[in-house]
Amino acid sequence: MSKRHDVKVTPYHLDDICASSAEDAWGVTNGGGVDGRITRVVVPVGGAAQAFDVTPVTLSGYMPGGVTGLDNRTAWVVGQQGPNPDPAKPDGVILWTTDGANWTQATAPADIHFWKISMAGARR
């Protein structure tokens, strides 16, 4: 029988969630239209769930809609600009981390909105 753990992450709904293991999950919220959040949830065996906001400053102005977590430190997040776009920024954003805390903005193949992401095969 599994044990249920409730974690309130944000006042907004989760737009995407990806469990990278039985103990770890990644989630994104769109922030109600702007300044979305990235959350890492850890549920240790026999312990209480913990939620960590790992949102980088570079996500400001973007609404993340997709996340793929490969393990408890490696994840990719994609999103698009909110309702008041900044013309100096790309329409879409791709971010990745290999330590669960520091994010790098990847170069997108085109200046378009990104909504979902799934990493598999050689990229995994």
Tokens of 23: 């103990």
82, amino acid identity = G
Domains of the chain, residue spans: 16-117
Whether this prediction's pTM lies above 0.85 is answered by no
pLDDT, tens only, 35-78:
789 999 998 888 888 889 999 999 988 999 899 999 999 999 99
pLDDT, tens only, 64-114:
989 999 999 999 999 988 888 889 989 999 999 999 999 999 987 777 777
Say if residues 49 and 39 touch (Cβ distance below 8 Å): no
> Residue 2: pLDDT band by 50, 70, 90 thresholds?
very low
State the number of CA atoms in the 13 A half-sphere of 95 facing the CB.
28
Using CA atoms of 118, 54, 93, 27 in order, give the dihedral in degrees to the nearest 10: 40
